Structure 1
Amino acid sequence: MELEHKFCRLGAEVTVAEGSRIEGYASVFGACDQGGDVVAPGAYAQSLARLAAEGRGVKMLWQHDPAQPIGIWDEVREDGRGLWVRGRLLDSVVRGREAAALIAAGVIDGLSIGYRTLRASKDAQGRRVLTELELWEVSLVTFPMLPGARVEAKGESPEAVLLRDLALALEGARLDLARG
């Protein structure tokens, strides 16, 4: 089975404090992403329980690159809304410092999960409903897929928000055209 990725925009769903602490939703249940997938409630439960039983955690990576860990997810859990994460960028890691600076500048504003699909089905609209996932990592990324989960850097200007939202709308239109 191949490792898959789901992207989320950071912002109202995810916050950054003191330049290094990140907290919020990496995945939101019931939201259809730009790939036509929907994550069902409970999809991460068995994976998170297995990781806890083995004394392992979900990795925080830069752009899904396993050679570039940039921080630590101190808490990863499901709740009624989705997959909630809380962690910190490591300022002792060069890429961690770079990620903090890019988030503060509004350049990086996405989260993405890396996972394997264990169980899925199709709904009446033809969307893939993911019911059991093996979660591997949550990355900070440039281009997220799920617009509902975003990081909002403190002091972000209205112009930066407008440009980010415009870029998101254009990317969504491009993907719609590509799907035909």
Structure 2
Amino acid sequence: MSVAIDADGRFSGYASIFSVPDQGGDVVMPGAFSASLKARTPARVRLLFQHDPKEPIGLWDEIAEDARGLRVSGRLLDGVPRAQSLRALIAKGAIDGLSIGFRAVRASRDGRTGTRRLWAVDLWEISIVTFPMMDQARIASVPSGAETAQLAATLGAAAQLFRA
């Protein structure tokens, strides 16, 4: 399976999915990024490799919330060796994870489940990663039918978690 990246190194996907628990027990709520995105342009949110501040690899062209989550479009930069190798890895589907680097501004914790709901976050960076904390946070052009069905099942399970 290969993932869409064009000859100029442009790609898009979701860096975070709303209302879905990640592997650390965090759930990003709809609207959590809105204040941060108003205060910081996409060019000021760093595009890194593996959350390493010594590994900038490109620029974000667009970062926006939609009904599903945090949709991003970016590009890997020519002349950056790590970006060049990532371009090939992404094109072949060898790496496709996305992960957010942030500071929680407003959060609440469910005392029964331990789940932390993030109501407002200050977004600092979004990284291309090998293993994202949120499995659905991936570089992709459009979710396939199987991914859409999996997302619907995950959202249904998350909704049950919050109703309890």
Report the TM range for the smaller structure's normalisation. 0.7 to 0.9
Could you say which structure has the higher strand fraction? Answer: 1
Alpha-carbon shift at residue 22 of structure 1 (Å) = 1.1
1-structure distance, mates of 2:39, 2:138: 27
RMSD: 2.2
Contact 1:19 1:100 in 2 (8 A): no
Identity of counterpart residues, as a percentage? 54
- In structure 2, the residue matched to 1:164 is none
2-structure distance, mates of 1:89, 1:43: 26
1:84 equivalent in alignment to 2:71: yes
1:75 equivalent in alignment to 2:50: no
Residues 27 and 15 from structure 1, CA distance in 2 versus in 1: closer, same or farther, beyond 3 angstroms? farther
- In structure 2, the residue matched to 1:51 is 40
* Structure 2: unaligned runs, 5 residues or longer: 142-164
Map 1:4-15 onto structure 2 (within 5 A).
15=4
How many residues get paired? 139
Deviations along 1:98-125, one digit per CA (max 9) or x if unpaired, are: 1111212332121111001111002464
2-structure distance, mates of 1:127, 1:99: 33
Deviations along 1:8-45, one digit per CA (max 9) or x if unpaired, are: xxx9xx84333711112110100111111100011111
2-structure distance, mates of 1:108, 1:16: 12
* Structure 1: unaligned runs, 5 residues or longer: 1-10, 154-180
2-structure distance, mates of 1:91, 1:39: 33
Q: 1:113 aligns with which of 100, 108, 113?
A: 100
* TM-score, normalization by structure 1: 0.70
Deviations along 1:18-75, one digit per CA (max 9) or x if unpaired, are: 37111121101001111111000111111111114xx952110111111111111011
One-letter code aligned to 1:50: A
